[in-house]
Structure 1
């Protein structure tokens, strides 16, 4: 088996991972793609039903699905990279793929925060802030989120931090240290604004909703469970999908020598891989937790059960 090797020049460290490790990530991302594309495609349909019902929640869900689909399609380039061990698509495509990665991170986190805050306003203050819970307001908020995330990524994702070549071996995103000052600052901003702030917003919203639901005796048990499931998925998605990779971003600043990266590289790749579970967790919000989602899933299940039953009868 090919060993993990480390090549160093005066400006960067390059890592050529073993074939076995690369292929393990390859099959992992392939499984993500196979499940995520149909799941998020179906989620677009489900989310559109919310918008047709004049539900602002549908706007956030549609944009979550679009963000996940964009990122998932871009994963095909990473599959080729993991298979070959070198990046063959050039620097511009490399930077664009990294751009897609971070755009998915922060649009997803921001939209999950919007869902949590929207549910907080609906449950805790049902008669107040009604103007904030309209479709037009949700559209304006999502447009602002996309613009802010795109502009932030445009200012922080740089060619020299994403794409490098060493002795004819192009590498994308696996160029680690030494970090440029701009990337170190960007990682700090990403940790606090891209993780800590959304985490606190979701936690506070979840806590206030739980208190309000428990104290409101008029809320049905089924409705309480539905709200609890939604909040659990949102909170776990923020913490488990985005927490590890942002912690590794912060730790990466402390790694100031190439020899230290031998222990840092693999955990960093694992944390990045875990973040892609976001593409699978988001559809749970549409298909299995919201009322419209549950209804549409039930329709699909009944359709296939009926089709299976007709096929069985025809064979008798």
Structure 2
């Protein structure tokens, strides 16, 4: 995690490229609009799943809350990019925006990882794990993920007591160039525990799920194909959103220990644009999270269909006086 800072080396080490601003802003604007829309559309059916004692609904709610907190801070990042990486707001808002970004990133990763473990155990050992697949344990797991990730980032914010970014003219938010030794070491640990380990677990889980379903005689070819596509989709989207950022973060951190200060600044200048783009791509997980697993669950899809039908029927009630055949057409659609 890079702290909110601006020091004397920022200006001379990395010069921001304003031409990349429109592209990055476009990604954040799309992520903000679609992310907020999908979260609002899916939150109702997810709550219905929780009321029906569905464990998956609790994990989906945990993802949605985390995504919503991050999405609401996204206009701050859009403003920051529109101002060519100059933060003219308070340092507290910078810290808040960074806190929710990094917290959402790893809360999403860990909950997605646990959903994969839960699905894998439910399919490979359905009888043995039934007693442990209860809502109480799902709430505890989500709570522990939130507490662990947020407590860690609070600790990092407390330990990284660097100068106020508003004290001089070069106002950067969570962009430290060149990075410090402590930040570089923390980044390597973060890549290993926060990305590589969950990616291995998710890959193994979906490989076991696909193997188990493939061997099952009670599942038809269409069902097996659905499981294969879902497995590849989860791993592919997980890699698309999170892999570029963590790979470049790892390269930057290793380079810090391998080259001198002057070469480090040259390297950071070359890496700044692709790294900033990878950071923007990672924000798309707020769009992917509510779509991927909601569409993967038949129960949630059915709740979404019923939710839409109820909305149409309420509209039909108001329109009946205008068009007596309106209600019949709506009922046929549902």
- Give 1:154 shift: 1.9
Trace 1:140-159 onto structure 2 (pairs within 5 A): 140-157=140-157, 159=160
The equivalent of 1:269 in structure 2 is 276
Secondary structure, aligned partner of 1:171: coil
Secondary structure, aligned partner of 1:172: coil
Please state if 1:283 is matched with 2:282.
no
Structure 1 Cα separation of the partners of residues 32 and 81 of structure 2: 14
The equivalent of 1:295 in structure 2 is 302
CA RMSD after TM alignment: 2.8
**1:11-54 per-position Cα deviation (integer Å, ceiling 9, x unaligned):** 77564534332122112211111111010122222221221121
Residues 143 and 301 of structure 1, relative CA distance in 2, 3 Å threshold? closer
Q: Is 16-25 or 124-133 further displaced after alignment?
A: 16-25
**1:212-238 per-position Cα deviation (integer Å, ceiling 9, x unaligned):** 000011124444344334433332232
Residues 11 and 78 of structure 1, relative CA distance in 2, 3 Å threshold? closer
**1:219-273 per-position Cα deviation (integer Å, ceiling 9, x unaligned):** 2444434433443333223222111111111111114521222211001001101
- Give 1:76 shift: 1.0
Given that 1:50 and 1:292 are in contact with CA atoms closer than 8 Å, whether structure 2 keeps it comes out as yes
Trace 1:186-197 onto structure 2 (pairs within 5 A): 186-197=186-197
**1:140-165 per-position Cα deviation (integer Å, ceiling 9, x unaligned):** 11111111111221223465679635
Q: Is 135-144 or 86-95 further displaced after alignment?
A: 86-95
Structure 1 Cα separation of the partners of residues 19 and 10 of structure 2: 28
Given that 1:14 and 1:174 are in contact with CA atoms closer than 8 Å, whether structure 2 keeps it comes out as no
Structure 2 Cα separation of the partners of residues 12 and 131 of structure 1: 58
Structure 1 Cα separation of the partners of residues 135 and 198 of structure 2: 22
- Give 1:133 shift: 1.0
Q: Is 158-167 or 114-123 further displaced after alignment?
A: 158-167
Given that 1:163 and 1:172 are in contact with CA atoms closer than 8 Å, whether structure 2 keeps it comes out as no
Trace 1:12-27 onto structure 2 (pairs within 5 A): 15-27=14-26
The equivalent of 2:331 in structure 1 is none
Q: Which runs of 5+ in 2 are unaligned?
A: 1-5, 327-334
Residues 270 and 120 of structure 1, relative CA distance in 2, 3 Å threshold? same
Structure 2 Cα separation of the partners of residues 214 and 51 of structure 1: 30
Please state if 1:44 is matched with 2:43.
yes
Structure 2 Cα separation of the partners of residues 163 and 237 of structure 1: 37
Given that 2:10 and 2:177 are in contact with CA atoms closer than 8 Å, whether structure 1 keeps it comes out as no
Q: Is 164-173 or 43-52 further displaced after alignment?
A: 164-173
Greater radius of gyration (CA): 2
Structure 2 Cα separation of the partners of residues 303 and 135 of structure 1: 27
Residues 108 and 62 of structure 1, relative CA distance in 2, 3 Å threshold? same
Q: Which runs of 5+ in 1 are unaligned?
A: 1-6
Structure 2 Cα separation of the partners of residues 172 and 14 of structure 1: 15
Residues 11 and 72 of structure 1, relative CA distance in 2, 3 Å threshold? closer
The equivalent of 2:212 in structure 1 is 212
The equivalent of 2:198 in structure 1 is 198
More strand by share: 1
Given that 2:45 and 2:307 are in contact with CA atoms closer than 8 Å, whether structure 1 keeps it comes out as no
Structure 1 Cα separation of the partners of residues 175 and 56 of structure 2: 37
The equivalent of 2:330 in structure 1 is none
The equivalent of 1:89 in structure 2 is 89
Tell me the number of residue pairs that the alignment of Structure 1 and Structure 2 aligns: 307
